[in-house]
Amino acid sequence: MDNLHYIRLAMERAGSFTAVPGVGGVLMGGTAMAAAWIAASQSAASRWLTVWVSEAVIALLLGILFAARKSARAKMPLLSAPGRKFIAAFVPSMAAGALLTFVLYRDGAVAVLPGVWLLLYGASVVSGGAASVRIVPLMGACFMAAGTLALLGPRDWGNPLLAVGFGGLHILFGIIITVKYGG
């Protein structure tokens, strides 16, 4: 019995994190599109930021819910060794993004937030994706490209690029992950 336990642990540690949720990604993309539309009509930076921070919380909850659902269907604990590796690689850039959001808002540099968010979210996805299926790091690289464009392009591209990135890329890659990797 101990040998079976050891074999299972070894296989789990060597595996990849396959609970990246395709359906959840599509839903996250849909809520991001709605957030972009709502945020575009906000005249005050604080209200624009409130829309996007609310969207981030909604997306986080959707991501966790659908990752747990996909993990349960695969009969693999969400916090398996590959899952813990994914989280450990994903969280640092996200934490940096949260801190920078506070600092940049405080300092009146709200216009750079879309680029910072897309770039750091992309970095999180690339890093976490190293413990996942191949398409996940590619998705992260696309977010990083959108973030780079938002930082280097005209400032009024920020909100539309958030729609393209958090909306369009999540929908596109969510569909691909759903079809190729089972939801």
Higher pLDDT, 80 or 112: 112
Average pLDDT, the chain: 88
Overall domain count for the chain? 1
Structure-derived torsion over alpha carbons of residues 109, 41, 49, 63, reported in degrees to the nearest 10: -130
Task: Please spell the DSSP secondary structure of 128-177, one letter per residue.
Answer: HHTTB-THHHHHHHHHHHHHHHHHHS-GGGHHHHHIIIIIIIHHHHHHHH
Of residues 4 and 172, more confidence is placed in: 172
Which residue's entry shows tokens 């994914």? 86
What integer pLDDT is reported at residue 13 of this predicted model? 44
Q: Counting Cβ atoms within 10 Å, is residue 75 exposed (0-12), middle (13-18) or buried (19+)? A: exposed
Least confident of 19-33, 69-83, 138-152, 163-177: 69-83
73 with 19: CB under 8 angstroms?
no
Which phi-psi region, left, alpha or beta, contains residue 89 (left: φ > 0; alpha: ψ -120 to 50)? Answer: alpha
pLDDT for the residue 79? 79
Cα separation values, 115 from 85, 112, 143, 146, Å: 26, 6, 10, 7
* Predicted local confidence at residue 167, as pLDDT: 97
Residue 68's domain comprises: 20-181
For residue 67, being part of any structural domain is answered with yes
Q: Which residue has the tokens 């910072």?
A: 116
In which band, very low, low, confident or very high, does the pLDDT at 85 lie, cut at 50, 70 and 90?
A: confident
Higher pLDDT, 72 or 5: 72
In a domain, 8, yes or no: no
Give me the pLDDT at residue 81, please.
78
Mean pLDDT, residues 30-53 taken together: 97
Q: Is 49 helix (H, G, I), strand (E, B) or coil?
A: helix
Burial bucket for residue 114 (CB in 10 Å: 0-12, 13-18, 19+): buried
Is 94 within a domain? yes
Which pLDDT band, with edges at 50, 70 and 90, does 3 fall under? Answer: low
Range of lowest pLDDT (23-37, 59-73, 133-147): 59-73
